[in-house]
Structure 1
Amino acid sequence: MNKILVPVDGSAASEKAAIKAVQIARKYGGDIVFLSVADVRGKFAYMGDGVVTLPVNHAQISAMLLENQTKMLDVFEGIVNTEGVKVEKKVLAGVPYEEIIKYADENKTDLIIMSRRGYSKVRRFFVGSITQRVIADAPCPVLVINEDDQ
């Protein structure tokens, strides 16, 4: 188990996934990548005639989102005790599940450990689930830690 990818969104659920990843990395000698994806979709303006335009400050908004994700990872790394484990932090921009899968594939990840919040089946149907999409298309095994797991 050489490379463990842990998608992080700053939630308590992703903290639990990170803690589990550190335990596994310590036991099997693996390295961890904490990955956060700034979702820059939806930053477009739709005109009445159906024309899509970028807002004047789209680049500025995207840069701000990336900066916020980087700060969140810095704080997150301070919360999770990673002593004795090699940890890398990575921030990407894009559609979260697509970027997680792409990163795992391109970097020959051995295991993805991620969280899932306790949404009902109905809510997951309407809002979608990044975790569900990663499980379906990941190039490696995915260990899912539920928000309410101990």
Structure 2
Amino acid sequence: MKTINKILYATDFSESSLPAGDYALTLAKLAGAEVHVLHVIGEFTDRRKSRIQPESMALLEREVEIQAFKEMEGFCREVFDEEIPYTTEVVMGHPFEEIIKIAQQSAFDLIVVGTHGRTGLERVFVGSTAERLVRRSPVAVLTVRSGA
């Protein structure tokens, strides 16, 4: 039987990611696993970056990062409420790529991520981080639909 010792819970802080947090918490309790909460700040496209002076871009990125750390703190208090020990991390990049990279580097046993439940053209145009993770991750992925 596969043991689960390390869970990577990736969140975008949205309401739809809360049920996935509940699953990560429950699984961690049942398995005696540790949880690492990850938020990936999506990078600005090169086209957008070229319109902003480099000094201003660096300042903007730093402000976004500071805000993400504040959001992470409040989000984790709401989801985990110190029921289990957890660690947090905020990185910048393409979400599915960063999640996979961190999961591999730190030898996580499971990735837990929420889905937004997009369908039709919205899913085609916006895409799905969860779907990309399921298709490309060498680590097991548990997707939790919003409202689960």
The alignment's TM-score, normalised by the length of structure 1, stands at: 0.88
In structure 1, distance between residues paired with 2:115 and 2:92: 21
For 2:92, the aligned partner's letter is A
Among candidates 41, 44, 52, match of residue 49 of structure 2: 44
Bigger RCO (CA 8 Å, 6+ sep): 2
> SS of the residue aligned with 1:41?
coil
The answer for the alignment partner of 2:22 in structure 1 is 19
Instruction: Give me the identity figure in percent.
Output: 29
Deviation at 1:29, TM superposition (A): 0.3
**Alpha carbon RMSD of aligned pairs, Å?**
1.5
Answering whether residue 103 of structure 2 is matched by residue 104 of structure 1, we say yes
> SS of the residue aligned with 2:135?
helix
Answering whether residue 98 of structure 2 is matched by residue 95 of structure 1, we say no
> SS of the residue aligned with 2:80?
coil
Q: 1:107 to 1:128 in 2, by over 3 A?
A: same
Deviation at 1:109, TM superposition (A): 0.7
The answer for the alignment partner of 1:59 in structure 2 is 58
The alignment covers a number of residue pairs equal to 143
User: Is the contact made by 1:37 and 1:69 (CA closer than 8 Å) also made in structure 2?
Assistant: no
For 1:103, the aligned partner's letter is I
Structure 1 unaligned residues grouped into runs of 5+: 47-52
Structure 2 unaligned residues grouped into runs of 5+: none
> SS of the residue aligned with 1:131?
helix
> SS of the residue aligned with 1:91?
strand
Deviation at 1:41, TM superposition (A): 2.0
The list of structure 1 runs, each at least 4 consecutive aligned residues, that deviate by more than 4 angstroms after superposition, is none
The alignment's TM-score, normalised by the length of structure 2, stands at: 0.90
In structure 2, distance between residues paired with 1:81 and 1:97: 23
User: Is the contact made by 1:31 and 1:86 (CA closer than 8 Å) also made in structure 2?
Assistant: yes
Larger radius of gyration: 1
